[in-house]
C-alpha cells in the first residue's frame, strides 16, 4: 500500500495582510531615515530645497544587491544615479535610445556633474543572459536579451580570449569588459566628449564584488 503523500498546508496569509506588511516595511524604513538622517542633517535638506549639484553621475545595474547610495554612503544630493539591467549604456541614438540620452543629458548639461562612473558587479544576471543567449538570435524574453545585446562586442572579446574558462569565469570577465565598452559608448554623446575635452568631466569604470566585498576603479582610456 502506497503511503499517503504529505501535502504542505496552504498559506493562511492573505494578500491583504502581505500588502500591509510590505507597506509597513516602507514606512518603518522611512521613519528610520527621518530620525537618523533627515532630522540630524537639516542643513543638507535646506540646501537641497534650493536645488541639486551632485558631483557624481553613477551608472549601475538595477540588481537589488547593488545600491550605489548604500555602497558609497551617499547623502541625498551627492550622486545622480541611473540604473538599468546590466548597467547597459547604449551608444548615442536620438530615436532608439532617447531614454538613456535624456538620463545622461540632464546631469551632464544642466547639473554639471564632474565625474561619471560606470559600475559593473559580480554575478550579474544581465551579463549571464548575454553570454548564454541563443546563437540563432531567438529570444526567451521579451526585452532583456534585446537590451543586453548592446554589449555583444564585449561578449565577443571574452569568447575569443577566454572560451576555455568555465562559464562563471567568463561571466566575471565580461562584467568588467562590458564596463569598458560602456565607457567608450559614453564618448559617442557629444556633450560628454565636450566635457572630457575641456577637462570638466572625468570618466571612470568600477567593479563591485559583493561576494568578496571588494570595489575597484579605473580611469577610462
118-148 pLDDT, tens digit each? 999 999 999 999 999 877 667 788 899 999 9
Q: Which residues of the chain have pLDDT under 70?
A: 1-13, 136-137
DSSP 8-state secondary structure symbol assigned to residue 79: E
Q: Is 208 exposed, middle or buried (0-12, 13-18, 19+ CB in 10 A)?
A: buried
The per-residue pLDDT for range 41-58, each reduced to its tens digit, is 999 999 999 999 999 999
Decide if 110 is catalytic. no
What the block records as the C-alpha cell of 124 is 550579474
Residue ranges of domains in the chain? 15-51, 52-219
Catalytic residue among 25, 61, 67, 123: 61
CA nearest to 57, candidates 83, 96, 37: 83
Decide if 93 is catalytic. no
Decide if 124 is catalytic. yes
Give the global pTM. Answer: 0.88
Helix (H, G, I), strand (E, B) or coil at 174: helix
Decide if 61 is catalytic. yes
Catalytic residue among 24, 65, 93, 169: 65
Residue 2, annotated ligand binder? Answer: no
Supply the CATH classification number for the domain 52-219.
3.40.1050.10
Amino acid at each position: 500500500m502506497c503511503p499517503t503523500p504529505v501535502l504542505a498546508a496552504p498559506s493562511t496569509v492573505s494578500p491583504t495582510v502581505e500588502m500591509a506588511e510590505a507597506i509597513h516595511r516602507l514606512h518603518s524604513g522611512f521613519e528610520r531615515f527621518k530620525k537618523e538622517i533627515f532630522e540630524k542633517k537639516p542643513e543638507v535638506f535646506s540646501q537641497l530645497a534650493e536645488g541639486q549639484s551632485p558631483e557624481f553621475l553613477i551608472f549601475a545595474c538595477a540588481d537589488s544587491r547593488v545600491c550605489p547610495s548604500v555602497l558609497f554612503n551617499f547623502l541625498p544630493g551627492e550622486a545622480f544615479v541611473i540604473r538599468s539591467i546590466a548597467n547597459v549604456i547604449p551608444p548615442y541614438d536620438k530615436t532608439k535610445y532617447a531614454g538613456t540620452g535624456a538620463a545622461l543629458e540632464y546631469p551632464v548639461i544642466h547639473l554639471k556633474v564632474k565625474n561619471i562612473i560606470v559600475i559593473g558587479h559580480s554575478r550579474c544576471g544581465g551579463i549571464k543572459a548575454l553570454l548564454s543567449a541563443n546563437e540563432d538570435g531567438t529570444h526567451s524574453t521579451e526585452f532583456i536579451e534585446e537590451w543586453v545585446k548592446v554589449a555583444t562586442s564585449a561578449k565577443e572579446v571574452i569568447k575569443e580570449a577566454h572560451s576555455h574558462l568555465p562559464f562563471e569565469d567568463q561571466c566575471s570577465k565580461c562584467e568588467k569588459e562590458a564596463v569598458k565598452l560602456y565607457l567608450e559608448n559614453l564618448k559617442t554623446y557629444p556633450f560628454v566628449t565636450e566635457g572630457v575635452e575641456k577637462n570638466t568631466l572625468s570618466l571612470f569604470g568600477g567593479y563591485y564584488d559583493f561576494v568578496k566585498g571588494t570595489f575597484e576603479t579605473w580611469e577610462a582610456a
